[in-house]
Structure 1
């Protein structure tokens, strides 16, 4: 099993306390071991195989909202604590900019989370926004301006619960959507919209 970068910053401290804690209490030692195991589980980074074509979900989770903003559609994905928190590119694209926006740490499933801390990964005609939640206090982009990404390729990670938004290209309308509110999606694999193209082959595991 692969893990997201930075996992040992979180998993190593409780792991190092397992044996010293055993001297005080076996129960306490088990709690530290469980905390380390839970952290490793949270930072897991499984391989994904993108579909032939279409715009794929950038995150694991549940569609919490689909809304129209001007001539664009925004798809919001709530990531629960048990979801994989590695974020992926919805389509083949070149990163135009990475922008950090300061904000609060409200629950990621609430509408107030629009004012949370976030990182915008912008492409020429679309955008992925990584949004912090109550426990998500670290957003780590893996990419920078100028990077060329393939559909489903990793672009960042959010530590401990959050939300990810996909602002779709302007030519995508509601008839092109392939998901609805409340639907479970998988990053890099679930098609959230039809982009009108057909693929000749799969990209393979990313």
Structure 2
């Protein structure tokens, strides 16, 4: 294997959504170099950061039935039992919720936590407070998906944060999606909430680091069988 191929394998691909932003940062860096060299180097660092923000690495997703995987990279910021947002249509009983906070340094491509059918997509405008706050689930701009599976319906909510100003969705109502498949992206710091069926026991802990498409949040079967994997 050549050195160039080896380097290419180590650098994760960039999601196409990021090209306009990376190009803008790069152009601004050139202008800053013309104005004052130190400013140009600052712009270069920011351009590299922007490229890292939109990275879209290959993930290896467990595919055994009954597994719920993390939809986002980040930190498990909260595990609680609360009423789901009304627009999800998941009833009026409290459900287990796992929240994942994504900082501006995390990969922001979101992946489906389960395989199933997307029954509902609901967008709700809102404000942009710190996504780590509990009230962000109610007050912030958000985009919600409901995915039907043989084990019940899963709610996934993309929540815009203090810096984020744009939620991007790649899917449509009625389509089938596989676990670990990309369904959206948030720019630039935000949170994902996963609402699990009543009685489901999360297998993660607050403060734990989650990897989208790989970290197991819950297992409906809990039979101890070794899961198979696929690359996505």
Same fold, TM-score > 0.5, yes or no? yes
**Alpha-carbon separation, structure 2, partners of 1:3 and 1:17:** 20
Partner of 1:119: 143
1:14 Cα deviation from its structure 2 partner: 2.0
Q: Is 1:105 paired with 2:128?
A: yes
What TM-score do you get using the length of structure 2 for normalisation? 0.82
SS in 2 for 1:6: helix
Partner of 2:212: 187
**Alpha-carbon separation, structure 2, partners of 1:139 and 1:4:** 15
Q: Is 1:151 paired with 2:164?
A: no
The one of 138, 141, 146 equivalent to 2:166 is: 138
8 A contact 2:63–2:179 mirrored in 1: no
Higher relative contact order structure (alpha carbons within 8 Å, sequence separation ≥ 6): 1
CA-to-aligned-CA distance 1:99-146 (integer Å, 9 cap, x gap):
111111000111231210000011121111000001011110111112
Structure 1 unaligned segments of length 5 or more: list them: none
What TM-score do you get using the length of structure 1 for normalisation? 0.91
SS in 2 for 1:96: strand
The one of 182, 197, 200 equivalent to 1:173 is: 200
Q: Is 1:58 paired with 2:58?
A: no
SS in 2 for 1:27: helix
**Alpha-carbon separation, structure 2, partners of 1:21 and 1:131:** 34
The one of 48, 72, 83 equivalent to 1:37 is: 48
Partner of 1:83: 106
Partner of 2:88: none
8 A contact 1:4–1:157 mirrored in 2: no
1:89 Cα deviation from its structure 2 partner: 0.7
8 A contact 1:152–1:189 mirrored in 2: yes
**Alpha-carbon separation, structure 2, partners of 1:95 and 1:87:** 15
